[in-house]
Chains A and B, each alone.
Chain A
Amino acid sequence: MVEPIPLRPSDASGQPPPSLDELLESTALGDEQAFGRLYDQLSSAVHGLARRVIRDPARAEEITQEVFLQLWQTAHRFDSNRGSARTWVMTLTHRRAVDVVRRDQSSSDREDRYDWTGGPDVDVVAEAVTTRFEHEQVRRCIGSLTDLQREAVTLAYYGGYTYAEVASLLDANLPTVKTRMRDGLIRLRDCMGVTR
């Protein structure tokens, strides 16, 4: 059975559905329904990132719930001048996931854990569902980085390593890694056309 695709999504009132920013603002006012919608729209992204960084499925679920509960409690802190709701939520998620990984595991464990085959992590993204245009774009943009940029960025972001750990894993010096992280991200930003 094929459902007709509405030209412009709308709810019963004929209004366009609220943006994530608006849902977050309503959440800050104690609107549980808005929070539920926020969850529906962001839970896959939050859970996927937590899962990727933490690896342990049960722990990743735990962190996903904690992140959403934190969102419920602190939604009023969201500042739309600094960026989108989506970015804010992903920033909180990454922070939390990285804290967990650094607390839970010694770095030697993580070194064992990390999948080194084939150079890290262009494949990470390829493995994941990449039907959406944006994901395709992310994959392509990661592919456009130099090897060192790509490894520095993906080890830090998906692996949760500090830049000092990244330097030792890649056998590169600290200032180089620091610089590659920054210019790698700048290249990604320009490739994806990110403003804020």
Chain B
Amino acid sequence: MSDDLHTLVGAYALDALAPSEEVRFEDHLATCAACRQELDELLATVARLGEAVAMPPPPEMRLRLMEAVRRTPQERPLVASMRPKGWRRQAPLLLAAAAVLAVVASLGAFVVERERLEEVQAAQSTLSSVLTAPDAQDATAELDGGRVRVVSSLALDQAVVLMADMPSPGAGKSYELWSIGDDGPVSEGVLPASDPGSADMHLIDELDAAGALALTVEPEGGSPTGKPTTNPVVSVDLTST
């Protein structure tokens, strides 16, 4: 049977299999290193057949395409742009970045309509600068199986808050995020209700030397007084790593 499957490698390289056989062959490929090696060689071979019939496209295509490229976001630009910056040292931050990406991907970042694109790109560039800042600090707190992770940079005065698997704040309630500095808590915004098991991220643009971030449970829509009405369910100290 597996022998039989293996002989499909030629037809597969030629894109000549029916969809159902393609799936079967790909399952087989996953477990067969020799088949992958053979397939890679046969793909390189058929690529030569393709190049042998080369024909230049009309010259105006280049201009059209470059126009389109300017308007078209790429998949996962964040990871790509961070790769060259000493990723070994920053591996833990890259994990944080991966969590952000999960969020961004769930927003469908690369299919966002054009108006939202600049917004998303600006957020990504802030994220990426915080996550790769030389003085970046990384702190995590847990809450009933949920995790709150804060990456902050004093030099940039910015922080990225990543939340995953957070328990529901309860019916008619919301989480509100606070930065806590010398003048007491300042609201950093109410977190939108999220599905269980999902991840969220939040950017804080001006930390103003806050020493901690805290989450409280408030009435839906946020504290009516502008100050926390309950004790924090979780807080993250920003003054030490």
> Which residues of A are in contact with B by a Cβ distance under 8 Å?
28-30, 32, 35-36, 39-40, 43-49, 51-52, 61, 64-65, 68-69, 72-77, 82-84, 86-87, 90-91, 93-95, 98, 124-125, 128-130, 134-135, 138-139, 142, 153-154, 156-158, 160-164, 166, 175, 177-186, 188-189, 192, 194-196
List, in ascending order, chain A residues with CB within 8 A of B80's CB.
28-30, 76
Check if A182 sits within 8 Å of B11, measured CB to CB: yes
Check if A158 sits within 8 Å of B72, measured CB to CB: no
Complex Cα spacing A90 to B44, Å = 9
**Interface size for chain B: under 10, 10 to 19, 20 to 34, or 35 or more residues?**
35 or more
Contact among A35, A43, A178 for B56, CB-based, below 8 A? A43
The closest CB in chain A to the CB of B13 belongs to A185
Binary interface profile of B, 30-73, with partner A (CB < 8 Å = 1, else 0)?
00000010001111111111111111111001101110111011
Check if A44 sits within 8 Å of B49, measured CB to CB: no
B115 on interface, CB distance cutoff 8 Å: no
Q: Which of B11, B65, B70, B83 has the largest number of chain A CB atoms within 10 A?
A: B11
Complex Cα spacing A43 to B61, Å = 10
List, in ascending order, chain A residues with CB within 8 A of B53's CB.
48-49, 51-52, 124-125, 128, 158
Complex Cα spacing A32 to B69, Å = 8
Query: Apart from A61-B58, A195-B44, what 10 extra A-B contacts exist at CB < 8 Å?
Result: A32-B66, A32-B70, A44-B54, A49-B54, A61-B61, A75-B74, A128-B52, A128-B54, A138-B48, A182-B8
Do most interface residues of chain A lie in helix, strand or loop, or is the interface mixed? helix
Complex Cα spacing A168 to B17, Å = 14
Check if B77 sits within 8 Å of A30, measured CB to CB: yes
List, in ascending order, chain B residues with CB within 8 A of A135's CB.
51-52
B15 on interface, CB distance cutoff 8 Å: yes
Complex Cα spacing A61 to B64, Å = 12
List, in ascending order, chain B residues with CB within 8 A of A185's CB.
10, 13-14, 42, 45-46
With A65-B61, A73-B110, A124-B53: A183-B44 Cβ-Cβ less than 8 Å? no
What's the nearest-Cβ distance from chain B to residue A40, in Å? 8
What's the nearest-Cβ distance from chain B to residue A86, in Å? 6
Complex Cα spacing A196 to B40, Å = 6
B79 on interface, CB distance cutoff 8 Å: yes
What's the nearest-Cβ distance from chain A to residue B101, in Å? 12
- 9 example contacts (A-B, Cβ-Cβ < 8 A) are as follows A29-B83, A69-B68, A75-B74, A87-B40, A156-B16, A185-B46, A186-B10, A186-B42, A195-B41
With A82-B40, A95-B15: A28-B69 Cβ-Cβ less than 8 Å? no
List, in ascending order, chain A residues with CB within 8 A of B50's CB.
45, 48-49, 52, 90, 93-94, 157
